[in-house]
Chains A and B, each alone.
Chain A
Amino acid sequence: MDKVSPQPQEDLQRTVLRPLTHTGKGYYLIVGVLLLVVLWGVYAYSTQLAQGLIATGMRDRISWGFYIILFVFFIGISHAGTLISAILRVVKAQWRTPVTRMAEFITVVALSVGALMPIIDLGRPDRVPNLLLFGRWQSPILWDLLSITTYITGSIIYLYLPLIPDLALCRDRLGSEASSWKRSFYRIASVGWQGTPRQKKYLSIAMGCMMVLIIPVAVSVHTVVSWIFAMTVREPWDSTVFGAYFVAGAIFSGIAAIIVVMAILRKAFRLQAYITEKHFINLGYMMGGFTLIMMYFNISEYVVTGYKMVGETSFHFTQIFVHEYAPFFWFYAIGGMVIPGLIILFPRTRTFTGVLIAAGFVLVGMWMERFIIVIAGQRVPLMPYPPSWYVPTWVEWSVMAGAFAMFGLVIALFVKLFPVISVWEVAEQHAEQEVKTALPTGMSGQLAPGQLRLDGDADPASGVSRVPGGGR
């Protein structure tokens, strides 16, 4: 961050807490539309339940389709929170603070939507309990189940912990403005947070544990998701690099998701003062870095297999580079990696708008990449038969629309319940900055005699605003 926002803490709280109590017509409209799409998706799924998976475009030869693509896609996006929240917290990158809450939201919601997808894909969803009753720990699907439940639990905890002081703020600040159930909710959920030193110590230990733990958990999640494919002998999937490739792709698409969601929420709630262009540019830099990593992985895969052309490699290359799926692949390669890379590379395009456009390209490109992996991977013939086609039906399109709508809807509901910016962390950071700039060098943290805290008194974490006066 090149300069500290000049807004006093009072304004921060007011801006961030406002959506929790005031709802505009636009919000109801958006939520209404999203709800309709979700309900349409539910209707499509009910058709599938009635008829069986024959209602989809999947058949014996290409037996995984949109649902598994969306599963991988959403689990991938869920790595947003882990990266921003955890990794950036661990390396103490200062600029991340206003962004962490949204990133953690995205993680929890994306995980929930993603975890639904394999269940929607099952031929016998009524037999889901069999996974627990008869589960085989040697199966990649069980690894998925275990790691995703562990990650969801961890993400919810990791969303909740930094939320506690903000919930306490809501409890204290939102008096009659919030509805009564919201008030009880804040009271209960803030678990009696008063900002005492001991409480802060416990919270920081808890957050410290979680932020270190959630990183390997997140890495393991997308690794085992990739192993659904890599544990088979199908040629395009039989690759030792899948684990790392998928994790890199997950973080890549996660960053893009944060950029997009953040841009929307920033506009909707007028958070321009706290989430500045610099934030987007920093995220853009990270995205650009990951572009290079993804290009490296792709080059490794294709150059190494292409040099040898073993087995059905030439069939696969023809279908993804030249013929049937070439549009998808080249959109992913050029649109999803090269163009975002170029946008980030040149200072002229490295703006808020540029980064947002790049993120949009990345998201679509990564969806295409999942499509190529799942569909083109299965299309390679195993025996002498003509290759098949996968043509998704309205059921699959509707469920996909419903999944994205659900993602948007749950985030929309979250922002009405929780502050979208981590108020106490931002305030804490401001305070530290103010103190550093105000004090003579060599001293920090302590107030000099007669000095006031400029942006309101007392402990920022308690969320209580004070009239300046009476210092030490």
Chain B
Amino acid sequence: MSMRKARWLWLTLLPTLLALATAAPAWAADPVTLQLQAPEQVTLGEEASVTAVLVDGQGAPVRGATIILWSAGSFLSTGGAIELGRAATDAQGRATFTYQARSEGALTLNASFPGDSRHASAQASSEVKVQGSFQLYQEEAGVQVPGITVWLLVGLLGGVWSTYLTVMVLLTLIAREGPKAPLGAGGDRG
């Protein structure tokens, strides 16, 4: 092969090699499928188990991948994604989450896999219907001390004031006695 031919070969091959090199990740990035298994219906406040399964293009499970469970929400005029949990997939490609629904109505649970050096990213979602509308957080302000009631106070005060009443009665008895005795008479005189 002549020098000119060899150089031409390199010049055509190099871009091809470069193109192949840059395309390698996409090429090498396995498309993956993420599946989210969640119950269709759940009661408010109930803890439900939600599983995300990540398999690659060949159907083999992907292990050690971090899956993020999230849902869209809004609160006080701020909307956005609420992260509900993160878990890593096990040997079967399953990541399990425990989710407790706190808002009633229709809920869309989303799972996403951000992708890594070998895998592409993936999303999945599942619709869950949250039933029920009742108070979950029950704590009330204040403290109740058993046995200390207003009746204790009433009893104590009652005892004292009825003694005062007794004394007043005795006073009236004294007053009533007064005019009966002869004026100026002593008691044990004579």
Contacts and interface: CB of A to CB of B under 8 A. Distances in A.
Interface in B120-169: 150, 153, 157, 160-161, 163-164, 166-167
A157 B187 contact: no
Nearest to A156: B164
A197 B185 CA distance: 11
Given A459-B186, A462-B186, A464-B186, A146 B178 contact: no
A196 B187 contact: yes
Given A157-B164, A462-B186, A193 B178 contact: yes
Nearest to B178: A192
A464 B167 CA distance: 26
B161 A150 contact: yes
By size class, the interface of chain A is 20 to 34
Given A191-B175, A192-B179, A161 B187 contact: no
Given A137-B150, A209-B167, A462-B184, A191 B160 contact: no
A164 B173 CA distance: 13
A194 B188 CA distance: 12
B152 to A, nearest CB: 10
B166 A202 contact: no
A449 B175 CA distance: 34
Contacts, number: 87
A140 to B, nearest CB: 13
Contacts of A197: 187-188
A206 B177 CA distance: 15
A412 interface: no
A251 to B, nearest CB: 20
A272 interface: no
A453 B157 CA distance: 46
A283 interface: no
Among A153, A196, A459, which residue has the most Cβ atoms of chain B within 10 A? A196
A323 interface: no
A153 B187 contact: no
A213 B160 contact: yes
Contacts of B177: 192, 194, 196, 198-199, 202
A198 B42 CA distance: 84
A46 B164 CA distance: 37
B24 interface: no
A206 B187 contact: no
A195 interface: yes
B82 interface: no
Interface residues of B, number: 28
B70 to A, nearest CB: 38
B180 to A, nearest CB: 8
Contact of A217 (B153, B160, B185): B160
A439 to B, nearest CB: 16
B171 A194 contact: no
Contacts of B6: none
A385 to B, nearest CB: 27
B186 A195 contact: yes
Nearest to A220: B156
A248 interface: no
B148 to A, nearest CB: 9
A210 B162 CA distance: 11
A271 interface: no
A203 B150 contact: no
B7 interface: no
Contact of B187 (A202, A209, A462): A462
A200 interface: yes
Contacts of A339: none
Contact of A192 (B157, B170, B175): B175
12 contacts: A146-B153, A150-B161, A172-B184, A192-B178, A193-B178, A195-B181, A199-B181, A203-B174, A205-B170, A209-B167, A459-B187, A472-B190
| A-B pairs, 10 with minimum CB distance | A192-B178, A459-B186, A191-B175, A458-B186, A194-B181, A206-B170, A196-B181, A197-B187, A202-B170, A206-B167
Given A192-B174, A206-B170, A462-B187, 12 more contacts: A137-B150, A146-B153, A157-B167, A191-B171, A191-B174, A193-B174, A194-B184, A196-B187, A202-B174, A202-B177, A457-B189, A461-B187
Interface of B: 150, 153, 157, 160-161, 163-164, 166-167, 170-171, 173-181, 183-190
